[in-house]
């Protein structure tokens, strides 16, 4: 290569290198840097974000500090290959206080690293995914004690609309006012959301209805499907109301979560074809701790571990409810074809209650389905029947009780104690919270048991 060719080659490369490192000040608050994947903006207010025209691959960095009364409208459209990112300068150190909230509106968006605390919302939900939002995510963020002084004031901490959105590695702790902590709202199409690796910290008893930690759907939309996955989360002393998770739609999965000393139950409240599987529900004898409550059709309950639960009746380890003859959408539908298999119940007050809640109105018993291969050990009442079921097959269950109920045999030697819980010898595994990161990376949650 001669000198002229070398000069031309360097000249052709130089503008690209210069562009990749170029930086300019758009306003007094916004600095813009051009990167290989998109623009990088540094901002210090919601107004600065709202003024940007964001493109796929762009990243907005919100400077660390305590920012008060910020109404953040993160509106953009990215792509799968080039999402648009709104991130804290340093995780956990960009704090929104006062009357602040966040709206996520668009496609392929990521929010990362924010904290809401030292304030409350005056109207809107704290974090809202709009109906037009899809394939978007909030991660590594938290809402802590963000409570209106009037406990009857109702707003949700996080509302999920749209479809294919994800909430992961977040911390939601200390909600004391009216309203569910996290709600999945339904539409005509299934929304396929994912809620995983979050820490839902202590929530004291609200004293009235409306204190669920997670609700998926409403009674009005309960005959629609959601296909939401709730997995690998910790629910720690979530006592807001009887329903810790309230399933009010179809085809949802609650899998491999830890419920620790929660005053309430995982409830199939409305809707059909839901699955609750492989969860750990540990009560440690705390008053009113319950397990899994079943209402509706074609639900699956398998592989769950339930220990130290104080509840009975509607709060039994597994409660299969009685129903109304012609229920309205908001009432109690008959349990039909439940599939309850391979659960382990230990050290509890009441193992299984069939036909729970029977009264002069709730007269329909559970119907069909099967209850098999379950273990009930060191439990005061193994199984109780309040309403004789129709066609429910009860077989191959095991117990250590001195008197064997129908469908139960004497427990064998196929259970072993591992990591403080009873497990099947051929399926011993380390609980997820001992090996995976739960909550924000800057405040990883550790459960010391």
How many domains, in total, are found in the chain? 1
Q: What is the mean pLDDT of residues 403-412?
A: 96
Residue 11: which residues within 8 A CB-CB, separation 6 or more? none
Look at residue 424 in the predicted model and tell me its pLDDT: 95
The CATH number for 196's domain is 2.160.20.10
Q: What is the mean pLDDT of residues 356-384?
A: 97
In a domain, 95, yes or no: no
Q: Are strands 31-34 and 23-25 parallel, antiparallel or unpaired?
A: antiparallel
**Mean pLDDT confidence for 129-144:** 98
| Token digits of residue 91 | 């995780």
CA–CA distance, 288 with 309 (Å, rounded to integer):
8
- What residues contact 368, with CB distance under 8 A and at least 6 apart? 336, 337, 390, 391, 392
- Residue 36: which pLDDT band, with cuts at 50, 70 and 90? confident
Q: What pLDDT was estimated at residue 10?
A: 29
pLDDT for res 447:
80
Cα–Cα distance, 66 to 63 (Å, whole number): 9
The answer to whether 311 touches 289, Cβ cutoff 8 Å, is: yes
Is the pLDDT reported for residue 24 higher than 90?
A: no
Stretch 24-46: mean pLDDT:
84
Per the domain annotation, does 377 fall within a domain? Answer: yes
In a domain, 445, yes or no: no
Residues 302, 277: contact at Cβ < 8 Å? Answer: yes
Six token digits for residue 418: 């591992």
pLDDT attached to residue 132: 97
Question: What tokens appear for 108 in the block?
Answer: 């392929």
Q: Let me know if residue 91 belongs to a domain.
A: no
Tell me how many degrees the CA angle 319-325-327 measures, rounded to the nearest 5: 85
Q: How confident is the model at residue 32 (pLDDT cuts 50, 70, 90)?
A: confident
Res. 127: pLDDT tops 60: yes
**Alpha carbons 189 and 134: distance in angstroms, whole number:** 12
* E strand or H helix at 5: helix 3-21
**Measured at the alpha carbon of residue 337, what is the angle toward residues 336 and 341, in degrees to the nearest 5?**
135
Measured CA to CA, the distance from residue 351 to residue 346 in angstroms comes to: 8
Strand-pair partners of 340:
301, 371
Q: Is the pTM of this model over 0.95?
A: no
Residue 195 lies in a domain: yes
- Residues 162-188 have pLDDT tens digits of 999 999 999 999 999 999 999 999 999
| Residue 18 pLDDT > 90 | no
Residue 56 within a domain: no
Is residue 69 included in any domain, yes or no?
no
Share of the chain above pLDDT 70, in %: 94
What's the DSSP call for residue 271? Answer: -
9: pLDDT strictly greater than 50:
no
Range of the domain at 337: 147-434
> Rounded CA gap, 59 and 49, in Å?
11
* In contact, 63 and 49? CB cutoff 8 Å: no
Question: Where are the extended beta strands (E) located within 130-207?
Answer: 137-139, 142-144, 158-160, 166-168, 171-173, 182-184, 194-196, 199-200
Length of the chain: 449
Q: What pLDDT, on a 0 to 100 scale, did the predictor assign at position 252?
A: 98
pLDDT digits (tens, 9 = 90+) for 275-297: 999 999 999 999 999 999 999 99
Q: What angle do CA 34, 58, 157 make, to 5 degrees?
A: 145
Name the helix (H) or strand (E) containing 49: helix 46-50
Residue 12 has what pLDDT? 30
Q: Is the pLDDT of residue 17 over 70?
A: no
Q: What is the mean pLDDT of residues 349-371?
A: 97
342: left (phi over 0), alpha (psi -120 to 50) or beta: left
Q: Is residue 402, in this structure, part of any structural domain at all?
A: yes
């Amino acid at each position: 290569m001669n000198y002229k060719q070398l000069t031309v080659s360097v000249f052709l490369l130089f503008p690209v290198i210069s562009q990749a490192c170029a930086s300019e000040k758009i306003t007094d608050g916004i600095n813009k840097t051009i990167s290989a994947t998109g623009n990088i903006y540094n901002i210090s207010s919601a107004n600065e974000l709202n003024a940007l025209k964001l493109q796929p691959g762009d990243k907005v960095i919100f400077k660390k500090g305590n920012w008060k009364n910020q109404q953040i409208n993160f509106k953009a459209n990215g792509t799968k290959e080039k999402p648009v990112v709104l991130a804290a300068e340093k995780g956990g150190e960009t704090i929104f206080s006062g009357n602040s909230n966040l709206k996520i509106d668009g496609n392929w968006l990521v929010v990362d690293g924010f904290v809401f605390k030292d304030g409350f919302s005056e109207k809107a939900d704290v974090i809202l995914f709009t109906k037009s939002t899809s394939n978007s995510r909030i991660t590594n963020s938290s809402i802590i004690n963000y409570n209106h002084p009037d406990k009857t004031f109702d707003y949700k901490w996080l509302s999920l609309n749209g479809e294919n959105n994800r909430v992961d590695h977040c911390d939601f702790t200390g909600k004391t006012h009216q309203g569910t902590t996290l709600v999945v709202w339904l539409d005509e199409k299934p929304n396929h959301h994912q809620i995983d690796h979050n820490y839902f910290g202590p929530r004291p008893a609200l004293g009235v209805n409306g204190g669920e930690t997670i609700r998926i759907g409403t009674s009005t939309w309960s005959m629609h499907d959601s296909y939401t996955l709730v997995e690998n989360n910790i629910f720690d002393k979530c006592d807001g109301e009887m329903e810790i998770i309230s399933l009010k739609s179809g085809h949802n999965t609650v899998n491999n979560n830890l419920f620790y000393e929660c005053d309430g139950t995982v409830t199939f409240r409305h809707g059909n074809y839901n699955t609750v599987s492989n969860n750990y529900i540990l009560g440690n004898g705390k008053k009113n701790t319950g397990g899994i409550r079943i209402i509706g059709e074609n639900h699956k309950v398998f592989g769950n571990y339930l220990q130290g639960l104080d509840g009975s009746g509607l709060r039994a380890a597994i409660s299969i409810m009685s129903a109304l003859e012609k229920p309205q959408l908001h009432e109690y539908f008959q349990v039909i074809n439940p599939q309850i298999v391979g659960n382990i119940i230990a050290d509890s007050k009441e193992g299984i209650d069939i036909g729970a809640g029977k009264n002069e109105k709730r007269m329909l018993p559970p119907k069909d389905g099967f209850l098999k291969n379950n273990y009930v050990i060191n439990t005061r009442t193994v199984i109780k029947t309040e309403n004789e079921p129709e066609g429910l097959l009860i077989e191959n269950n095991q117990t250590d009780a001195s008197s064997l109920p129908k469908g139960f045999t004497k427990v064998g030697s196929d259970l072993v104690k591992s990591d403080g819980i009873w497990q099947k010898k051929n399926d011993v595994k380390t609980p997820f919270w001992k090996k995976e990161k739960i909550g924000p990376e800057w405040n990883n949650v550790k459960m010391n048991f």
